[in-house]
Amino acid sequence: MSNQNRKAPHKKESILELNKLIDSKCRVKCLGGRELVGTLRGYDELVNLVLDDADEFLRDPEDHNKITDKKRKLGLVVVRGTQVSLVSPEDGLEEIANPFMASEEEME
């Protein structure tokens, strides 16, 4: 087969639009439950992230599944893409009720 008949592999476009979040405050949730907030300075195709002025939210010492409002200052960090589960802008972030969880009133 000649080289002329071979097609170059079609490069997929990323569905992530992280470029819009560059130089803005972002919240990053990682596998294992860690949550970070910082200024997104860069990323690559593997979703490795560079966060500046990063803070990590600490867990509740009595219940490790809960995140507290207490923070630990980290500074400049690189988050490996394999650990990233969510990247969202910090502005406009609000927690909503889970519609799949039964309320306490319904349980009684």
Q: How much is the pLDDT for 52?
A: 97
Say how far apart CA 61 and CA 68 lie, in whole Å.
9
pLDDT at 15 over 80: no
Say how far apart CA 26 and CA 36 lie, in whole Å.
8
* Lowest mean pLDDT segment, chosen from 5-14, 39-48, 55-64, 89-98: 5-14
Q: How much is the pLDDT for 91?
A: 84
pLDDT at 36 over 70: yes
Q: How much is the pLDDT for 38?
A: 97
- pLDDT level of residue 56 (50, 70, 90 thresholds): very high
